[in-house]
Amino acid sequence: MLKKLKELFKYRQLVVTLVTRELKARYRGTVFGFFWSLLNPLLLLMVYFVVFAVILRGSSGRIKDINLVGVNYAIFLFTGLLPWLWFSSSILESANVLSVHGNLIKKIQFPLEVLPIMVVLTNMVHFILGLPILILIIVLFGQGIGLSYWVLFFPVVVLVQLVFTLGLSLLVSALTVHFRDLKDILSNLLTLWFFATPIIYSLQNADLPKHKALVWLWNLNPMTHIIEAYHYTFVFCSLPHWEKLSITFIVGLLFFYLGYMIFDKLRDTFVEEV
């Protein structure tokens, strides 16, 4: 596998070219252009904020001396939504990437794993473009929240999420070619996964029920520890649970190995199926 990864590294310029092309194509002809990378998560933030913080009013709570209401809850929500959009968009787009680029696959010889990698990196760029807005809101409006030196831990969290997302994207892109129903299942599965991940609520909320089944589900979910790490870094200004994050990184490596092996095993069938 290491040998194949070294060969894949030779195509890094192709990956950069494809990511740049995808970013330009996505916003070609639009009025706001790349500003949609900021507007989309902000509009989604407004929807969830109104529903859960204004209408339901059940997501706030006293957490580590930070009252998660108003602007603070918006910051908490935005901190979780940004990486989740990167993750969910990557998985959904990876399910279609080989079919969408079917003509390219049939005409040009290149390592096909470049395509799901391109999808993940493109969405990572959108994620990074949204970070200045998050930081600006924290600095200007955070009530009891401010940037600390734990922000330096941020690249580690991004690396863990990148490895896990790449592995799952490779797996999904390969399987969807043969099992096309997987695309429809994924959209529903990701909705369930969203609510099983502490994005609109915090696991530290004293009012949150701690049933054994829920705790088991949260601990088994890799995105729980990734999203919590972002919350610790930006909202709670403290060191994330590095033990849980380390285990999540190992799980991500296993998913990457599994995804790459299945992708490599099925690659010869892609041209016929797309």
Percent helix, strand and coil across the chain, each to the nearest 5 = 75, 0, 20
Give the DSSP letter of residue 52: I
In which region does residue 67 sit, left (phi positive, over 0), alpha (psi from -120 to 50) or beta (all else)?
Answer: beta
Q: What is the pLDDT of residues 227-262, one digit of tens each?
A: 999 999 988 888 888 889 999 999 999 999 999 999
Q: What is the pLDDT of residues 133-160, one digit of tens each?
A: 888 888 887 776 777 888 888 999 999 9
pLDDT value, residue 229: 94
User: 45 with 78: CB under 8 angstroms?
Assistant: yes
At 121, is the pLDDT very low, low, confident or very high (cuts 50, 70, 90)?
very high
Largest Cα separation within the chain, whole Å, is 59
Q: Which residue has the higher pLDDT, 206 or 234?
A: 234
pLDDT value, residue 69: 61
Q: What is the pLDDT of residues 62-103, one digit of tens each?
A: 454 456 666 678 888 889 999 999 999 999 999 988 888 777
User: 197 with 224: CB under 8 angstroms?
Assistant: yes
Residue at 123: amino acid letter: N
* CA–CA dist 131, 155 (Å, integer): 12
Q: Which pTM value belongs to this model?
A: 0.87
Average pLDDT of the chain, as a whole number: 82
Residue at 226: amino acid letter: I
